[in-house]
Amino acid sequence: MKLITFLILFLFFSAFFIISNENLQLHKKNEALEFGRQYYSWLGDMLGNVKSATAFVIKSEWMPSK
């Protein structure tokens, strides 16, 4: 339950950050579409970075040399 709450709060605050940085007004259709583009672009970049970091950790040698 804590993980779900954290995830929801994280996504909410990240959306708020994009809205405030770009000074978007979501009641305007073109700005709402721009928010959607930017938010999903950011989300895709973030997931790509998580994927890269995970791949780096998996490929790392964790056992000591003999």
CA distance 64 to 43: 36
pLDDT digits 0-9 by tens, 13-63: 999 999 999 899 989 999 999 999 999 999 999 999 999 999 999 999 888
What is the predicted pLDDT for the residue at 18?
92
**Residue at 43 is within a domain:** no
Residue 15 in domain: yes
Q: Are 39 and 18 in contact (CB under 8 A)?
A: yes
- 63 found inside a domain: no
Query: Tell me, what's the pLDDT at 53?
Result: 97
Residue 63's pLDDT is: 86
* Boundaries of domain holding 18: 11-38
Quick check: is 34 in a domain?
Answer: yes
As a whole number of Å, the CA-based R_g of the chain is: 18
Query: Is residue 17 one of the residues assigned to a domain?
Result: yes
Residue 64: helix, strand or coil by DSSP? coil
Q: Is the predicted pLDDT of residue 66 greater than 80, yes or no?
A: no
In the block, which residue shows the tokens 């490929």?
A: 59
Domain count within the chain: 1
pLDDT, position 13: 94
